[in-house]
Structures are given as structure tokens and as C-alpha cells.
Amino acid sequence: MKKHKNEAKLLKLATELGLNFARKEHYKFDARISDKDKAEAIYNMLVAYKQIVPLPADKVDGPNMKHRLVLWIINLLPKDHPLLK
């Protein structure tokens, strides 16, 4: 798994976009939910809506789910976005 140099910022952006998508789909998140649980919930929602390809069963863990969210947001951003440089 190759890390992107702006992975933390990309993950934050992916989480924000994922939460907006979840709200539009009438999902509710408790304000006290941890970042780890948010990432897992967003990952599972995006897999259910076929927005991302699911990880193999033996690779499903926190870091891999977060990395998959980063790859998802990288594909959505324009090629000249500052976080992709």
C-alpha cells in the first residue's frame, strides 16, 4: 500500500464528502462517533452503494479502509487539485 504524501488531508476531505453523501442518503451519525468508526461506516456505505470496490475479506481493517477512501477521493478530484501535487 503506497501512501500519498497528503494522505491525512485527503482522508479528511474524503470523510467530509462521505458524511455529506451519508446525510443526503438519510444516514445519521452521532456527534461522539470516533474518526475510526466514521471511516468504517463511510467505507461500508460506499461499498453498499457500489461507489468503491470492496477490499478482500482478509484485508478489511482500519488502515486499508482509510486508504481505500483516499483512493476514492483521489479519483473524484480534478487532476490539478493542490492536494494531488
Domains of the chain: 7-78 (1.20.120.1930)
pLDDT of residue 9: 96
55 vs 59: CA distance, rounded Å: 6
Q: State yes or no: pLDDT of 5 exceeds 90.
A: no
44-77, pLDDT tens digit by residue? Answer: 999 999 999 999 999 999 999 999 999 999 999 9
Over residues 37-45, mean pLDDT = 94
pLDDT of residue 20: 94
DSSP string, 32-69: T--HHHHHHHHHHHHHHTTSSPPPPGGG-SHHHHHHHH
- Burial of residue 55 (CB within 10 Å: 0-12, 13-18, 19+) is middle
Q: State yes or no: pLDDT of 29 exceeds 90.
A: no
